[in-house]
Amino acid sequence: MKPFDYTGKIALITGASSGIGLTFAEHLAARGVSLILVARSQAKLEALADRLTKKHRITTMIIIQDLGEPDACKKIVAKLKEATLSPDLLINNAGFATYGVFDEIPLIRQKEEIYINCIVPIELTHALLPAMLKRGNGAVINVASTAGMQPDPYMAIYGATKAFLLAFSEALWAENRQRGVRVLALCPGATETAFFDVVNAKEASVGKRMSANAVVIIALNALDKNRNYIISGCNNWLLGQLQRFVTRRRLLIIAEKMLRPNTHSNKGLKL
């Protein structure tokens, strides 16, 4: 399998203002990829675009968009058409988690979590994939999680959305593996971003945190090999295999003890 060819490519990255999304932007810019950066924070996106444009002499476009809006993807696609841009690489990175006891977390917040973590990647992929297939070249990276490897007590909706994203990505990989488009589900474990720290929910962070830089390097190496999914880090991989050695009941008991909140309070984790 030949490495992915980044020459002359355009990448669209959601959740590009921080964490893994920002790191993807840095690595792709260093490879000469033009960037379309999507997030809510205008100041952060403008600063990132300016820095990467000057450093790597690439073309950048920013789209300020709250992906929680019902017509968010339509607005993004409309702006791409207006600019006559057709991304060759789509990175569905934006997402967030709710943390706490399921029945205490507002339903509207959990529905928004499902929408951003699942529906937005579906809509963007559905909109951008046909042009990639027409060119016979392209890639989609969906940022899932090791949380999608098993049910996650106290992060029930988050784990379910990431399991969905993993299954969705692998199905698309199988459909498109002979059509020129690569699809990768990236499954990082705990990562050095604001994901856990922003609401002081360190008990939900399992294992040693990897740097976002290490996660992105692993992802791009996996894309070069046309992997269908990749778990970042040996320890995370081992945790992901636990379901092979214990019953589902035992796995759930272990997960509940590991993820149990210090207090039963509603918490929201944002990316």
Listing DSSP states for 115-177 in one string gives IIIIIHHHHHHHHHHHHHHHHT-EEEEEE--GGGGS--TT-HHHHHHHHHHHHHHHHHHHHHT
Residue 258 counted as domain residue:
yes
Q: Specify the 3-state DSSP secondary structure of 26.
A: helix
DSSP 191: B
User: What count of other Cβ atoms lies within 10 Å of the Cβ of residue 1?
Assistant: 8
Mean pLDDT, all residues of the chain? 90
Residue 188 counted as domain residue:
yes
Q: Specify the 3-state DSSP secondary structure of 180.
A: coil
Residue 5 counted as domain residue:
no
Residue 181 counted as domain residue:
yes
Contact present, 100 and 261 (Cβ < 8 Å)? yes
- Is the pLDDT at 191 greater than 80? The verdict is no
| Weakest-pLDDT range from 36-50, 73-87, 191-205, 222-236 | 191-205
Rounded Cα gap, residues 199 and 98, in angstroms: 10
pLDDT category of residue 195 using cuts at 50, 70 and 90: low
Query: Who wins on pLDDT, 119 or 189?
Result: 119
The contacts of residue 41 (CB under 8 Å, 6+ apart) are 17, 18, 64
CATH number at residue 141: 3.40.50.720
Q: Which two tokens stand for residue 260?
A: 């149990």
pTM higher than the cut 0.85 = yes
Of the candidates 270, 124, 96, which has an alpha carbon nearest to the alpha carbon of residue 197? 270
DSSP 93: -
Average the pLDDT over 67-74 and give the result.
96
Residue 170 counted as domain residue:
yes
Q: Tell me what percent of the chain is helix, strand and coil, each rounded to the nearest 5.
A: 50, 15, 30
Considering 6, 99, 154, 158, which one is annotated as catalytic? 158
pLDDT category of residue 85 using cuts at 50, 70 and 90: very high
Of the candidates 67, 85, 81, 177, which has an alpha carbon nearest to the alpha carbon of residue 122? 67
Of the candidates 64, 184, 62, 174, which has an alpha carbon nearest to the alpha carbon of residue 121? 184
DSSP 63: E
Query: Who wins on pLDDT, 80 or 234?
Result: 80
Contact present, 178 and 152 (Cβ < 8 Å)? no
Rounded Cα gap, residues 99 and 95, in angstroms: 14
DSSP 81: H
158 noted as active-site residue: yes
Residue 3 counted as domain residue:
no
Contact present, 56 and 35 (Cβ < 8 Å)? no
- Is the pLDDT at 18 greater than 50? The verdict is yes
Residue 145 counted as domain residue:
yes
pLDDT at 245: 77
- Domain residue limits at 125: 10-270
| Weakest-pLDDT range from 67-81, 146-160, 247-261 | 247-261
Contact present, 238 and 167 (Cβ < 8 Å)? no
Q: Determine the residue type at 77.
A: V
Of all residues in the chain, what percent carry a pLDDT higher than 90? Answer: 75
Residue 21 counted as domain residue:
yes
Rounded Cα gap, residues 65 and 120, in angstroms: 12
The total domain count for the chain is: 1
